């Protein structure tokens, strides 16, 4: 599975770079004479090759014991993440411009306006070349620095989403019960112990009745468990803190992640459930392990639901939102998930949603409802793959009332 994933991601990433390099060649052709043009293209190829070597080494180090070494993180992991994000974002911007130019071209053709031919285009003078050179360098600098600026502005700008749900089957005696959900912490290079303590303080400030953590406690290594444990020790809830595992927890040692969380008072529901009795009314909290593909599918919903009172109000915790199709069919009133990060690098321009996550995930972010059954997909608080987050991290406070 990893080999297939690596091939697909590498191919898409290569195609994006090919498109951007073609633009770079066009720019050098217009901005420089032949001698300078060849020098710039040679430099561009050298930089591109060097940065791609960083990306390859980043994958290699992720599977080795050297991943957490400070030198490896600073020389390979972080720079390759920034490069990956810059390429993806630049490609998205270029694609939007391409679509706009295509629409403009079609509208002109429909209006009977024909583009100028090469014979009618005046040759570039020195002033024009200088302008193209400077504007090209400025554009490249802006597009290259945009991921860093966006991350600094957004990555720690936690939004508190207040969601009020009138849910069929919820006991009226418990109206106003609030669940606080966090997801995708990803303890690691992009989520330090201090960062996690800030998140814990924000959750505690809400004085939650129940806290639910829907997977990906760590990013990929056992060494990331200790800072997570140090932060979780201060996480408080009036009744309980529940959690389930995510795919990244299995990249580390899932058993050790679970043990560390449980040692800090988190009730880990790995294909299991627990009953909550409040005012003589029962709520059942069900947790399923990560529902990956093939051998990586650790979810056992049948096992998790075994012995659950079919008449009880059921809340299911799952890392992957696709589980909702089955959990909804099995009578889950509310399903809480994460995993998608809301695309992490998506953004909006006015009413236009430029977030590709909707092309990848059926349930991408936010609230979904079908037949009085609800799913909430939390965009998470952490980052994965690249140190960039343009979709604001969130802490969700879900208040339940009877329909």
Q: Model's pTM, two decimal places? A: 0.79
Confirm if 286 and 318 have CB atoms less than 8 A apart.
no
pLDDT tens, position by position, 249-265: 999 999 999 999 999 99
Does residue 268 register a pLDDT over 90?
A: yes
Measured in degrees and rounded to the nearest 5, phi and psi for residue 204 equal: -60, -30
First vs last C-alpha separation in the chain: 44
- Which residue did the predictor score with more confidence, 315 or 133? 315
Over pLDDT 70: what percentage of the chain?
A: 92
Measured in degrees and rounded to the nearest 5, phi and psi for residue 296 equal: -90, 10
Written as six digits, the tokens of 178 are 């609030």
Closest CA to 131 of 30, 10, 233: 30
- Give me the domains of the chain, ranges plus CATH numbers: 2-152 (no CATH), 159-402 (3.60.21.10)
Half-sphere exposure in the Cβ direction for 41 (13 Å, CA): 17
pLDDT tens, position by position, 50-98: 999 988 888 787 667 676 677 887 788 778 888 887 888 788 788 888 8
- SS3 category, 165: strand
**Mean of pLDDT values over 316-320:** 98
pLDDT confidence bin for 2, thresholds 50/70/90: low
**Average pLDDT of the chain, as a whole number:** 89
Does residue 161 register a pLDDT over 60?
A: yes
Q: What is the DSSP letter of 213?
A: E
> Which pLDDT belongs to residue 282?
93
Measured in degrees and rounded to the nearest 5, phi and psi for residue 170 equal: -75, 135
Confirm if 78 and 58 have CB atoms less than 8 A apart.
no
> Which pLDDT belongs to residue 1?
53
Closest CA to 276 of 246, 302, 238: 238
Alpha carbon 156 to chain centroid distance?
14
CA–CA separation, 106 vs 118, rounded Å? 19
Q: Is 216 left (phi over 0), alpha (psi -120 to 50) or beta?
A: left
Does residue 127 register a pLDDT over 90?
A: no
């Amino acid at each position: 599975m990893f080999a297939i994933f690596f091939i697909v991601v590498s191919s898409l990433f290569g195609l994006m770079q090919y498109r951007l390099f073609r633009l770079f060649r066009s720019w050098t052709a217009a901005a420089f004479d032949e001698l300078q043009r060849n020098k710039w293209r040679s430099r561009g190829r050298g930089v591109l090759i060097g940065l791609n070597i960083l990306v390859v080494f980043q994958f290699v180090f992720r599977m080795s014991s050297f991943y957490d070494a400070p030198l490896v993180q600073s020389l390979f992991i972080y720079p390759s993440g920034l490069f990956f994000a810059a390429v993806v974002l630049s490609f998205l911007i270029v694609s939007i411009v391409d679509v706009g130019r295509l629409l403009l071209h079609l509208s002109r053709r429909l209006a009977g306006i024909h583009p100028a031919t090469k014979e009618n285009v005046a040759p570039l003078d020195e002033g024009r070349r200088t302008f193209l050179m400077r504007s090209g360098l400025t554009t490249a600098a802006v597009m290259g620095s945009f991921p860093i600026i966006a991350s600094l502005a957004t990555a720690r700008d936690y939004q508190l989403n207040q969601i009020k749900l009138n849910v069929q089957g919820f006991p009226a005696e418990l109206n106003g019960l609030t669940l606080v959900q966090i997801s995708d912490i990803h303890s690691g290079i992009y989520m330090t112990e201090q960062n996690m303590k800030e998140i814990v303080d924000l959750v505690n400030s809400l004085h939650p009745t129940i806290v639910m953590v829907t997977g990906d406690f760590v990013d990929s290594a056992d060494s990331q468990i200790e800072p997570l444990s140090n932060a979780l020790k201060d996480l408080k809830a009036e009744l309980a803190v529940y959690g389930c595992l995510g795919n990244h927890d299995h990249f580390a040692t899932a058993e050790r992640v679970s043990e560390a969380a449980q040692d800090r008072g988190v009730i880990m529901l790995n294909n299991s459930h627990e009953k909550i009795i409040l005012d003589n009314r029962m709520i059942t909290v069900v947790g399923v392990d990560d529902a990956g593909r093939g051998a990586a599918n650790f979810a056992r919903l049948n096992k998790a639901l075994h012995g659950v009172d079919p008449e009880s109000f059921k809340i299911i915790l799952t890392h992957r939102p696709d589980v909702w199709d089955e959990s909804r069919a099995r009578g889950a009133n509310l399903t809480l998930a994460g995993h998608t990060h809301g695309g992490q690098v998506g953004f909006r321009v006015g009413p236009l949603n430029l977030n590709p996550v909707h092309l990848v995930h059926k349930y991408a972010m936010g609230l979904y409802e079908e037949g009085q059954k609800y799913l909430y997909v939390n965009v998470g608080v952490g980052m994965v793959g690249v140190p960039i987050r343009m979709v604001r991290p969130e802490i969700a406070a879900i208040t339940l009332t009877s329909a």
